[in-house]
Amino acid sequence: MFQTAYSLLSWLLNGGNQKDGFLPAAFPFLVAMLGLSLWYLFLKARKPMAPLPPGPLGLPIVGYLPFLGFDYLHLVFTELAGVYGPIYKLWLGNKLIVVISSPSLVKEVVRDHDITFSERESPIAAQIITFGSNDIAFDSYSSPSWKHKRKILASDGNGEIQGEQRTIVESQFKKIFAEIMVFLGKPNISDIFPLIAWFDIQSIERGMKKIRQSFNEFLDSVIEERMKKETGEQKSDVLQMLLDLHKNQDSPSSLTMNQIKGILVNIVVAGTDTTSGSTEWAMSELMQHPEIMEKVKEELNDVIGVNNTVEEFHLPNLRYLNAVIKETFRLHPVLPLLVPRCSARSLTVGGYTIPKGSRVFLNTCSIHRDPNIWDNPMEFQPERFLNEPGKLDFRGNDF
């Protein structure tokens, strides 16, 4: 701004030398402009700016990366929260990471500033397996197609693949899902230092491309088989709905084949691993706590009866089983750090500045094991949910 004012002053002085009377006429305007510039800078200097969150010191260039490790990232973040508090920062290379481990601060992020923190900075592994971030989980809210894809899954259509193809998809996907989660959960040096990404030092990109190739071939076979069927035999499920949108390319709601595959990846992941993983953890906890297992069996016998199948209408009466499921979710969250968010603009959360472009992790593992929130947080106690059964639900409204 000062440079602009200086240039204008030089121009006015030259103009005043060339034409008498010009400088005196323009002098009040120049003084007013300089005064406004100084006033703007004065106000800007007086405006307080919240500091960055506290955090551990790192090394030059690499930041905190050498001390982070590559396994159980949520446990490392939980330990750091015990030192630096519910919100802290750390540098990974030149990328600023902010970790939040407080229910009140999480509420600010996901409810008060939801749109601001709905951006994504997809890691290389996620971009590959979702066919170029053409899914919902790793696509940004500002993407032109995100709202359309979200609207499709939130429609009245049946949000699952039905029949024999569902069984085939789930069985095939289970074989490679463990590898996918390893690649997605491991910090990738190529994401932190893009200039050396082409080296693929950890072989994450090569490994994920190999998995995507086999998964892509499998999806192509499933889609081709469905498209060959006669109209009368087609089933009304999410796969058929997506294919119908792909056929109508002239419609603004049409989908590309990569978008269909990206959405299918989200559906299969959400419907397969989350359920099976939580079930395995619940069974593991019941085996380690036989007294709790006996209570569950007793409730099932009383409500369902012997040799009968649990139906949906039984669920409201299975209060103790419901508490066991909630306690499993608390101790063993499916995604301890959820899907990382990215700040679309700079703002203040918890009295600290989160700059634009910062990657934000919400550490649910730390919240679920916080002794300030839970009594004996490391113990498996379903009874904690029986005293106030309506206090916590599965809808994501309790922080």
| % of the chain surpassing 90 pLDDT | 44
* Nearest alpha carbon to residue 101 among 393, 361, 392, 391: 361
Radius of gyration of the chain (CA): 28
Q: Are 371 and 315 in contact (CB under 8 A)?
A: no
pLDDT digits (tens, 9 = 90+) for 115-156: 999 999 899 999 999 999 999 999 999 888 888 888 887 764
> Rounded to two decimals, what is the model's pTM?
0.79
Quick one: pLDDT band at residue 321, thresholds 50, 70, 90? very high
Paired tokens of 144: 């032109």
Q: Which range has the top average pLDDT, 37-51, 158-172, 293-307?
A: 293-307
Residue 366, both tokens? 């730390």
The distance from CA 77 to its chain's CA centroid, rounded to whole angstroms, is 16
| Range with the poorest average pLDDT among 68-82, 169-183, 278-292 | 169-183
Res. 113: pLDDT tops 90 = yes
Q: 197-230, pLDDT tens digit by residue?
A: 999 999 999 999 998 998 888 888 888 888 777 5
List residues bridging with 89 in a β-sheet: 98
| Average per-residue pLDDT for the chain | 82
Mean pLDDT of 57-66: 90
Least confident of 156-165, 225-234, 339-348: 156-165
Confidence of residue 158 (pLDDT cuts 50, 70, 90): low
Strand partners, 361: 99
Q: Where are the domains of the chain?
A: 2-46, 123-288
* DSSP code string of 116-162: TT-B----HHHHHHTTTT-SSTTS-TTSTTHHHHHHHHTSSS--S--
